[in-house]
Structure 1
Amino acid sequence: MGAALRVGAAFAGTVVGAGFASGQEILQFFGLYGLQAGWGVGLAGALLAGYGYLILRAGARFQARSHRELLTGLATPPLAALLDGLLLLFLLGGLAAMAAGAGAVAREQLGLPAPAGSALLVAGAATAVLFGLDGVVRTIAAVVPWLLGAVLLVALGNLATHPLDPGWAPPAPAVLPAWPLAAVAYGSYNLILAVGVLGPLGRASPRQALLPGALVGAAILASGALAIHFSLFTLEPQVLQETELPMVLLATRLAPGLGPAYSLVLLAEIFTTAVANLFGLVARLDRSPFPRPAPPRGPARGAVSRWRTTTLAVSVLAWLMAQVGLAALVRNLYTLMGVAGVTLLAALSRQALGELRR
């Protein structure tokens, strides 16, 4: 059971990010469709559980040390190369965006220079990644319970003290025509970003822990998303239109001191996303036998040295990108990543159906 909880916590921590904790991601994918889109949260949770398990299992089957081995095993060489390139670009852009976000929070909340805030985040993420997959999983798994607790406290606290707005109307038009499509988009988008951690995690975890781990991770994500979804309907549409951080607003409404405290939750979400992105990049770019569940010793010390060099180089590059604004380029890749995510789900489905026919 301990291994399953470890897998589940790592799964959930890899998927969630600052967009999840802020409430903005749930608003865009589900809230804009109304209360009935709560069913969409359930559908997305089912997709995350099912396909998350397939990714973990594929990681074990193909002995994935990075997302590259997994994509190569699932797709044709040209398609695997295309998805690999897109994922590398998006992971790097996402890491730079997290560094820029940490810099902004440090400047606005702590009075520190933005470059210093970015450097602290990148240094913390690099420290976790230097210890390989085990360091990443331990770091993310330690943070997840606190994140989920904070999200549930704020969301359920508002649901208990404020009624749902009966005249609630979407503050903006939804991107997709219906919530079932939004649920599929949400699941596929998050799964493609989690491949870099879930593949190696499947390889390093006991086989019997993969399915319960995927179920635990999906349950954590779905419960948090559902609580956020319904709590958004206690706010007026105009208020939602004017704020980028609805959950911080809800926290402040519960108690003035909770707003700044919840900002720390956003920082923690940014940190876990940065750790997952950095690990995915380093594992893919470093072609040594590392990563392993723990750093190798003896003759494998050269592999550790290469792993450290790659980690340092990618960290510095992401920090530099955050300072010059190149992180904003990642926004133009969202549509492509959605398509890449659906392609990954199709490849996983084909593999699963092929195994059933044998």
Structure 2
Amino acid sequence: MRKEILLSFRIGAAFIGTVIGAGYASGQEIMQFFTVFGPYGFITVILSGLMFFIAANSILNISDQLKAYDYKDFVSKLCGKKIGFLYDSMITLFLFLGTSIMFSGSCEVFKAFFKIPKIAGILIICLLTLLAVFKSLEGLLNVNSIIVPVISSVVIFTSFMIFKDGNISLALDNMDANSNISAFKPFFFMLFYCSYNLILSLGVLSAFPKDIKNKNVLRLGAFIGGFGLMVLAFLLNSLIFMHMPQILDESMPMLYITKYFHPYFKYALALCIWGEIFSTAVSDVFSLGNRIAGKKKYSYKAICTLIVFLSIPLSLFDFKSLVAFFYPLFGALSMFLMVYIVFKGSGKHNIA
């Protein structure tokens, strides 16, 4: 029983680690999708946790029923070959692009906080990513079993230090700031945020039922992941909300919030942000390697090595304009697939 619960926690941690990258850990992602909508942001944060759980559980159910253990088989068997090919190509593109962006983000953190040259920062994360993904699913679980609790501890500690001084009243004072916003826009942004992150988590989530056959373990893992994401987002949203509107211009809200903490704390926070970049890079490479290697047609380790090396040249460029164009497009297209997954996976529909 204890082993099953521990496995569920590892599954939940892997799900959380796949979703929260540098934007999440720094607070920027939470600020853009939730905090700017005032009191509605707190409601949609709670709804996002429910959405994550329902959708993740649906993915696990469908993967198990269809025996589809990578995102290619998953979308192909669920949506048909033509639509499946479209989503397969799109997910592959964005996972590869995401890997390059994570590598680029890694070297930026190293350069800004630890004065490590850019190329050295890239090589460090490339080597560590390969060491992790070579162990396949076990490596993914091990990485997130360490990184996610550390990130969670930092967020909880920061919240405690801020809340204990009675600063929570600042959040309450800001509640009326955006109360006149239409409820549709915050809900749409929440749906966009969940859909985008869940589709990019598809490669990781669909792989679990291949080796883990206990449905209760999988369901509990989905719940832990969804609940954990909701709690972390709620705490981050509260922290950022206390510092509105001055914090809106900050690229890394968490560094702004903790600027009066002990000087060493910013290095701990930087390592946490890097850790989330690393966990996302591991998830992306694992998903791509698992999809391309397929049914042992190609060497999984060789494919992962090739993916990492091909990502290095792209990581040397600035991707801001590219991301600004493609990510919203991918998020919008992801909504249709996510709604369909929830519909087919949470009900008693014949999907076999």
TM-score where L is the length of structure 1 = 0.89
Q: What is residue 297 of structure 1 aligned with on the other side?
A: none
Q: What is residue 270 of structure 1 aligned with on the other side?
A: 277
Write out aligned runs for 1:307-346 (5 A).
307-325=300-318, 329-346=322-339
Q: How many angstroms does 1:118 deviate by?
A: 1.1
RMSD (CA atoms):
2.4
2:233 counterpart of 1:229: no
Question: CA 1:213/1:68 → structure 2, altered by over 3 Å: closer, same or farther?
Answer: same
2:197 counterpart of 1:190: yes
Distance 2:39 2:164 in 1: 17
Amino acid in structure 2 at the alignment position of 1:234: M
Between the two proteins, what is the percent identity of the paired residues? 26
Q: What is residue 131 of structure 2 aligned with on the other side?
A: 127
2:77 counterpart of 1:73: yes
Please tell me whether the aligned partners of residues 174 and 242 of structure 2 are also in contact (alpha carbons under 8 angstroms): no
Write out aligned runs for 1:211-222 (5 A).
211-222=219-230
Higher alpha-carbon deviation: 188-197 or 174-183: 174-183
Secondary structure of residue in 1 paired with 2:67: coil
Please tell me whether the aligned partners of residues 96 and 318 of structure 1 are also in contact (alpha carbons under 8 angstroms): yes
2:178 counterpart of 1:207: no
2:157 counterpart of 1:164: no
Q: What is residue 246 of structure 1 aligned with on the other side?
A: 253
Please tell me whether the aligned partners of residues 74 and 347 of structure 1 are also in contact (alpha carbons under 8 angstroms): no
Distance 2:185 2:319 in 1: 33
Write out aligned runs for 1:11-22 (5 A).
11-22=15-26
Q: How many angstroms does 1:74 deviate by?
A: 1.4
Distance 1:9 1:280 in 2: 16
Q: How many angstroms does 1:176 deviate by?
A: 9.4
Please tell me whether the aligned partners of residues 288 and 307 of structure 1 are also in contact (alpha carbons under 8 angstroms): no
Q: What is residue 299 of structure 1 aligned with on the other side?
A: none
Amino acid in structure 2 at the alignment position of 1:47: M
2:303 counterpart of 1:283: no
Please tell me whether the aligned partners of residues 69 and 209 of structure 2 are also in contact (alpha carbons under 8 angstroms): no
Amino acid in structure 2 at the alignment position of 1:225: A
- Cα offsets for 1:128-175 (capped at 9, x unmatched): 11111111122112211111111121133223322415257879xx99
Distance 1:79 1:49 in 2: 25
Which of 238, 253, 266 is equivalent to 1:259? 266
Question: CA 1:124/1:354 → structure 2, altered by over 3 Å: closer, same or farther?
Answer: same
For structure 1, list consecutive stretches of 5 or more residues without a partner in the other structure.
Answer: 291-302
Please tell me whether the aligned partners of residues 62 and 73 of structure 1 are also in contact (alpha carbons under 8 angstroms): yes
Question: CA 1:353/1:314 → structure 2, altered by over 3 Å: closer, same or farther?
Answer: closer
Which of 336, 340, 345 is equivalent to 1:347? 340
Secondary structure of residue in 2 paired with 1:82: helix
Q: How many angstroms does 1:246 deviate by?
A: 0.6
Higher alpha-carbon deviation: 177-186 or 67-76: 177-186
Please tell me whether the aligned partners of residues 232 and 246 of structure 1 are also in contact (alpha carbons under 8 angstroms): yes
Distance 1:159 1:25 in 2: 22
For structure 2, list consecutive stretches of 5 or more residues without a partner in the other structure.
Answer: none
Q: What is residue 62 of structure 2 aligned with on the other side?
A: 58
4+ residue segments displaced more than 3 Å = 167-171, 174-177, 324-328
Distance 1:326 1:9 in 2: 28
Question: CA 1:86/1:48 → structure 2, altered by over 3 Å: closer, same or farther?
Answer: same
Q: What is residue 45 of structure 1 aligned with on the other side?
A: 49
Distance 2:89 2:273 in 1: 29
Amino acid in structure 1 at the alignment position of 2:44: G
Q: How many angstroms does 1:257 deviate by?
A: 2.6
Amino acid in structure 1 at the alignment position of 2:325: N
Distance 2:100 2:225 in 1: 26
Q: What is residue 300 of structure 1 aligned with on the other side?
A: none
Write out aligned runs for 1:7-156 (5 A).
7-156=11-160
